[in-house]
Amino acid sequence: MSGLDWIAADWGTSHLRVWGLAGDKIIRDAASDQGMAQLARTDYEAALLALVSDWLPEGRITQVLASGMVGSRQGWVEAPYRTLPCPPLGGALALAPVRDLRLSVHVVPGLKQHKPADVMRGEETQVAGYLALHPNWDGVICLPGTHSKWVHVSAGEVVSFQTFLTGEIFALLSEHSVLRHSVSGWNDAGFADGLAQGMERPERLLARLFAIRAEGLLDGLDPATARARLSGLLIGAELAAAKPYWLGQRVAILGAAELAKYYATALEGLSVPTTLHDLTEISLAGLAAARTLLPEGQRRCVN
């Protein structure tokens, strides 16, 4: 592919997304479901080549910068966690073992916090991308998702963060629990209702969840309201516990468009100023920042 300078890869538990870049311009992109959960250590190279082999010029080495669970102990190569407080990127990138002579793959290390114990892989790159696009920014970054994260950033460093199992519990409950027959679709009023309940009395969560089922049986609660209420209850409980993060702060939300909008609605209801950002742009800015950690001679295709 003419003009290809490098490849950026967002490689999580359940997905792989790659972008071919000329400088900071996207000239190709692809995705698959070949995430860490599907792969043994020796499968990673093939999973990557399945998407990018056609892009690679012969006779030289193309650099790939990857972040996410690909760098975990069960990933392609372990990129040991860096310890807070620290800038979101730094230290050594991990070099993945590769057979194809056209490739060199570096993986971004995650971050760890000891008290309370917490870890991230992938989000540090998004935080770095946000800071690259908004220099000298202080505040709180919220990354909603399977494992939602709240990150306090000050003077270019990640000071603290906290992870919530919100998205994973929502998926388990709506697909595998007794509630699965009661929830389908979406309804904004149901979300607002659940959010208020979840924030006001988060300790009642385990009882409120069963009430969704009971109201379906007794009162004909419609499945769209039920599913939105389930989401609201969980996000409300998360926001109640994350209050030390958002209180008196401005919050940048980095997440999938629809989910990010639900968090923005909730935070705006609490008079917290929020901004929403395109996740692809943020991720690419972060991986481009990671690329600057490579020695100068390795940043472009190597002849």
Residues at the interface with its own copies (CB under 8 A): 73, 81, 112, 114, 116-119, 147, 162-166, 168-169, 172-173, 176-178, 202-207, 209-211, 213-215, 217-219, 234, 237-238, 240-242
Nearer to its own copies, 163 or 274 (CB): 163
Least CB distance to its own copies at residue 65 (A): 24
Least CB distance to its own copies at residue 84 (A): 12
Least CB distance to its own copies at residue 300 (A): 35
Least CB distance to its own copies at residue 118 (A): 5
Nearer to its own copies, 90 or 202 (CB): 202
> Can you tell me which residue has the tokens 């994350």?
242
Distances in Å between the Cα of 108 and the Cα atoms of 155, 242, 288 are 21, 27, 11
Least CB distance to its own copies at residue 7 (A): 28
Least CB distance to its own copies at residue 79 (A): 13
Nearer to its own copies, 183 or 285 (CB): 183
Rounded Cα distance between 12 and 10, Å, is: 6
Q: Is 18 exposed, middle or buried (0-12, 13-18, 19+ CB in 10 A)?
A: buried
Q: Where are the alpha helices (DSSP H) in the chain?
A: 44-52, 123-133, 166-176, 188-200, 205-219, 223-241, 243-246, 257-268, 279-291
Nearer to its own copies, 60 or 73 (CB): 73
16-22 and 6-11: which strand pairing?
A: antiparallel
Nearer to its own copies, 142 or 242 (CB): 242
Determine the length of the chain.
303
Rounded Cα distance between 243 and 150, Å, is: 10
Q: Is the peptide bond before 295 cis (omega within 30 degrees of 0)?
A: no
Nearer to its own copies, 4 or 111 (CB): 111
Rounded Cα distance between 109 and 85, Å, is: 14
